[in-house]
Amino acid sequence: MTGRSSRRWTAWLLALLAVTLLVPGSARAVTRSQVDQACESSADALDEYRRAQAAFQEAAEEYEAAQVAVDSVLYRQQRTSDAIDLRREGMDVARERFEEQAVEAYMSAGSTNAFFFMTGSLDEIITATEFLTAAASEERDVAGDLAAAQTELNSLQGRLQGIETELRAVEAQRLEAKDNQESAMEADQRAWEKLSGRCRDLQKQYEIEQARAAAARGGGAAGVPPSATPGFICPFPGSSFIDSWGAPRSGGRQHKGTDMMGPMGANLYAVASGTVSVGNSGLGGKTVWLTADYGTAYYYAHLSGFNVSSGERVEKGDVVGYNGNTGNAAGGAPHLHFEIHPSGRGGAAVNPYPTLVSACR
């Protein structure tokens, strides 16, 4: 082999090695030490980025916990309010029965006749000793039911006041966690921009491989291979996110997506070409379903507004809507809740985090 051929062969091998290191799913994994070597010229920036990344992870987890606390209190508030409404409805029925009996007693000039002239209100009748002594057995039963229902209603209303006090406290904690997370997110993004090109490339690949390894717990948590999301692009460039797949939610639910944090009103993009359907619900707020031409469905939730309408065809990269906090995210940090459903809209969700890490830096 000539010297020139040898040099060409060596260059080709080095190029192949570089590609192997950078291509997702390659046999040769990028190690932390390789990242350190590639980042020697920007070692301080890499240290800053790693600290910022760890701080964002911690802040994001604290916000997740604060959000769960708010959701839990809101859930109890709604259940208690529903119980109060039911109790009031039951009291209305019992009160109507009691009033009918009272009128009958008055019209028949029974033993309670004089008492009704002397009593100022129905509540006084229900609790008065004279009435309970003079009234017929059925009248006393209804009066007793009303008194018990009123006692229970008072207890429920007191409980609701306590829940509302608790809600104000957890809302304040969520607001503090929201501010901390946003500050940590900005620091993380600033530190990322300071990394050199080669350093950034290997650090990204290292993060992709770490995300896949962490998510590979089996089932939907492991995500999907790139073949299930061909040509996938980032739905929310510039956002920050953590792997929150399976995190607890109110009502015994589990988180089935990734929350991508970013500025209110920022553009959200179609990750594939396909057809969209828009909706609005108390849970997801303003939502978009994008069914790709290859069958995979993508779910966008908590949008502040739409840029598409149901039945419309979109091309990859089109703006489908804008980042927000609608639905049960109201009052919290604006973010895109993003899901991947490889079997289509009716199929199960899988963890989108590994796919998003690959596309979104």
Question: pLDDT of 211-233, one tens digit each?
Answer: 777 666 555 566 788 899 999 99
User: Are both 186 and 103 inside the same structural domain?
Assistant: yes
Query: Does one domain contain both 234 and 115?
Result: no
Q: Strand 335-341's sheet: what is its strand order?
A: 258-261, 335-341, 297-303, 285-292, 274-281, 313-314
- Read out DSSP for 322-353? E-B--GGGTTS--EEEEEEETT-TTSPPB--H
| Rg, the chain, Cα only | 31
Question: Could you tell me if 79 and 2 lie in one domain?
Answer: no
Question: What angle do the packed helices 137-193 and 43-107 form, to 10 degrees?
Answer: 170
Same domain, yes or no, for 46 and 195?
A: yes
In this prediction, residue 19 carries a pLDDT of 38
Domain ends where: 196, 215, 234?
215
One-letter identity of residue 83: A
Q: Which pLDDT score, from 0 to 100, does residue 299 have?
A: 96
Based on the fold, state whether residues 240 and 300 are members of the same structural domain: yes
Q: How many domains does the chain have?
A: 3
Q: Which two tokens stand for residue 318?
A: 């089109």
pLDDT at 22: 39
Residue 204 and residue 244 in one domain: no
- 154 with 286, same domain: the answer is no
Q: Other CB atoms closer than 10 Å to residue 53's CB: what's the count?
A: 19
Q: Has residue 117 been placed in a domain?
A: yes
Q: Does some domain include residue 176?
A: yes
Domain boundary, last residue among 154, 184, 215: 215
Q: What are 97-110's pLDDT values in tens digits?
A: 777 766 666 566 55
Which structural domain range is residue 241 located in? 225-361
Q: How many CA atoms lie less than 13 Å away from 263 in the CB half-sphere?
A: 7
Among candidate residues 337, 231, 350, the one with its CA nearest the CA of residue 281: 337
CA of 131: how far to CAs of 73, 94, 96, 127, 256, in Å?
42, 17, 17, 8, 60
pLDDT value for 325: 93
pTM: 0.64
Q: Torsion angle of alpha carbons 311, 315, 321, 326, nearest 10°?
A: 60
Same domain, 144 and 248: no
Contact 216, 98 (CB under 8 A): no
Q: Which of 257, 259, 267 is nearest to 237 (CA)?
A: 267
Q: The domain spanning residue 162 has which CATH number?
A: 1.10.287
220 in a structural domain: no
Question: pLDDT below 70 — which residues of the chain?
Answer: 1-28, 101-143, 214-222, 247-254, 361
Note whether residue 154 is domain-resident: yes
> What is the domain-level CATH number for residue 272?
2.70.70.10
Please say which residue of 165, 191, 215 terminates a domain: 215
Residues 45 and 64 in one domain: yes
Say what the pLDDT of residue 210 is: 77
Same domain, 26 and 43: no
DSSP string spanning 197-236? HHHHHHHHHHHHHHHHHHH-SSGGGG---GGGSTT---SS
**Do residue 201 and residue 291 come from a single domain?**
no
Whether residues 206 and 258 share a domain: the answer is no
CA–CA separation, 151 and 241 (whole Å): 48
